[in-house]
Structure 1
Amino acid sequence: MTAESPLQRRNTREAVRFYLLDHRTWLGKVIDIALLVLNLVFVAIFVAETYPLSSPVVRVLWNAEVAIAVVFLAEYLLRLYGAENRLAEFLDVYTLIDLIAVLPTLLVVLWPGAATVASVGFLRVIRVVRVLRFYRFTRDAEFFFGTISDNALRALKLLLTVLVLLFVSAGLFYSAEHAANPEVATFGDAFYYVVVALSTVGFGDIVPVTVAGRWVTVASILAAIIVLPWQASKIVREWSRKGKVDVTCPNCGLSSHDRDASHCKACGHIIYQEFDSRE
């Protein structure tokens, strides 16, 4: 058996990197769709496990969770293998999330004794970050079904941020409260509480009884106050730029002027912007 040449290794790495990032070829689309579906199932398993289930169903869900975790671990290793700068890829936020998302499952597989704490404590908290993997699909405007506009991508990120905020808050609240609060028996109860709390309605039928639950509520409300308006402002700012043209004033540097502007609205300098009155 001949050893693989450096050129062959480089070509293999480039092929791996290409197909993990590609959205246009049939193989790239299959990988994209498969990872998206597996991510949905991975998150759904976390939610389903908070409900009372029969032993056979629990066993099937666990086997599915392990299988998906192995696939995601393989994806993680392939991303590191194919990266041009492996250290930068390893430290990338999305890559770190990919690794953290599968750690609880892999820990139980490699260390069976951890199964006794798999549904409580820090392991459940870590499993909440699975939903953050969806952000990887919004890194650029290209998807398996085509390319969307920048405004549509920003709106998608805003919607994803809302869903992630609700999901993570509900997961953390459930982890903090379910053992001590009889009103928080399932993930659905926690999700209901978070929606009511973040909408400032506060029916009062579910209230936190632990210190951790109270701090999760405070942090969730502060995050909603800060993060959502910040992302929404980006969309509004882009919408306000419609009808503008990207012309920079040579005097003060102001860009984005009205289509019919002949003078800079900041300093009055003549910018000689072309404008067709027929438009």
Structure 2
Amino acid sequence: MPGESSPGTRSRRELVRFYLLDHRTPLGKAIDIALLVLNLVFVAVFVAETFPLSAEVRSVLWTSEVAIAVVFLVEYVLRLYGASNRLEEFSDPYAVVDLIAILPTFLVLFLPGAVVANVGFLRVVRVVRVLRFYRFTQDAEFFFGTISDNALRALKLLLTVLVLLFVSAGLFYSAEHAANPEVTTFADAFYYVVVTLSTTGFGDIVPVTTAGRWTTVAAILAGIVIIPWQAGKIVREWSRRDNVDVTCPNCGLSAHDRDASHCKACGQVIYQEFESHE
């Protein structure tokens, strides 16, 4: 990365952190791609497990889940090991999501199956796996190159919508699948959430449990608050694209229109020059 020493001059700890954050070297790109693919598979396994499957397929899915969880655990430990401030890294929201995402798998693996299988919160906790995708949008630099800030904001908005739908569907499935004959798979729950949040409301699936009703309420409120908030940030940035970075000496307002000769807030003359194309 610019301004940093080359990988060959770093300590082992610095080297670990470098490659976990790097998007440019072949190894850094390979790690990025591998983690992205494993995230997709991890989420796909969670969804697939809600469908009626043979014992052999379930065994393969469980083996895959454990293997991927081990990889994520190694990644988590390496991030703590390579962090310049380990306490800060441990309390980082992305690190917390990383840990919570794999916790249910290891609880099922190491605790008696009969006990863990009946703990309802485990099904809910496993839904947060999808939040791991936010780690890939921490900055505008990806393994395939760098995208614009506006494109990154649009990507975060799209990811927010998908995460809201997915998490809501997972929570609704966890609350309803045992009591609601209309909700037998994750696909049923996802369909219900999409129809509900889009305000279509066909009424073919309705919540029958208290938890299912509150999940629906929470999903609607989250959709009302979070999506317009992120969309508003994108619109504000797009509206500023044609502005120039000139600060008013009187009130400090910046980002004036290109043809502005006076500050729109206080009327101070800013003598901004522009060329007419007419």
TM-score by length of 1: 0.94
Runs of 4+ in structure 1 displaced over 4 angstroms?
Answer: none
Match of 1:152 in 2: 151
Give, in whole Å, the separation in 1 of the partners of 2:36 and 2:114.
27
Match of 1:72 in 2: 72
Preserved CA contact (<8 Å) 2:107 2:116? no
Question: Which 10-residue stretch deviates more, 171-180 or 253-262?
Answer: 253-262
Other-structure match for 1:4 = none
- Relative to structure 2, which stretch is displaced further, 37-46 or 237-246? 237-246
Alignment of 1:179-218 (within 5 A): 179-218=178-217
Separation in 1, partners of 2:209, 2:132 = 29
Separation in 2, partners of 1:115, 1:12: 43
Q: By how many angstroms is 1:246 displaced?
A: 1.1
After TM superposition, list the pairs within 5 Å mapping 1:7-156 onto structure 2: 11-111=11-111, 113-114=112-113, 116-118=115-117, 121-156=120-155
TM-superposed deviation, 1:120: 5.3
Contact conserved, 1:118 with 1:124, CA < 8 A, in 2?
no
Distance 1:18 1:76, change over 3 A: same
Determine the C-alpha separation between the residues in 2 that align with 1:185 and 1:110.
28
1:263–1:271 Cα contact (<8 Å) kept: yes
Distance 1:114 1:253 in 2: 63
Q: Which amino acid aligns with 1:70?
A: V
Give a deviation string over 1:181-212, Cα, whole Å, max 9, x none. 01000000000000011111111110000000
Is this contact kept in 2: 1:151–1:238, CA < 8 A?
Answer: yes
TM-fit CA distance, 1:260: 2.2
Q: CA deviation at 1:119?
A: 7.1
Aligned partner of 1:170 in structure 2 is 169
Match of 1:246 in 2: 245
Which amino acid in the other structure matches residue 248 of structure 1? Answer: T
The residue identity in structure 2 corresponding to 1:90 is F
Three-state SS of the structure 2 residue aligned to 1:50 is coil
Residue 5 of structure 1 is matched in structure 2 by none
| 1:262 aligned onto 2:248 | no
* Letter aligned with residue 143 of structure 1: F
Would the alpha carbon gap of residues 52 and 221 (structure 1) be closer, same or farther in structure 2, given more than 3 Å must change? same
Report SS of the residue matched to 2:217.
Answer: helix
More displaced 10-residue stretch of structure 1: 141-150 or 10-19: 10-19
What fraction of aligned residue pairs are identical, expressed as a percent?
A: 80
Deviation at 1:122, TM superposition (A): 0.6
SS in 2 for 1:167: helix
Counterpart contact for 2:179–2:208, Cα < 8 Å: yes
SS at structure 2 position matched to 1:212: helix
Cα 1:115–1:38 shift into 2, 3 Å: farther
Gaps in structure 1 of 5+ consecutive residues = 1-7
Shift in Å at residue 278 of structure 1?
A: 5.5
Sort the Cα spacing of 1:51 and 1:119 in 2 relative to 1 into closer, same or farther, 3 A. farther
Contact 1:244 1:258 in 2 (8 A): yes
Q: Which amino acid aligns with 1:78?
A: L
- The secondary structure found in structure 1 opposite 2:11 is helix
Question: Does the residue aligned with 1:264 lie in a helix, a strand or coil?
Answer: coil
Q: Distance in 2 between matches of 1:104 and 1:118?
A: 10
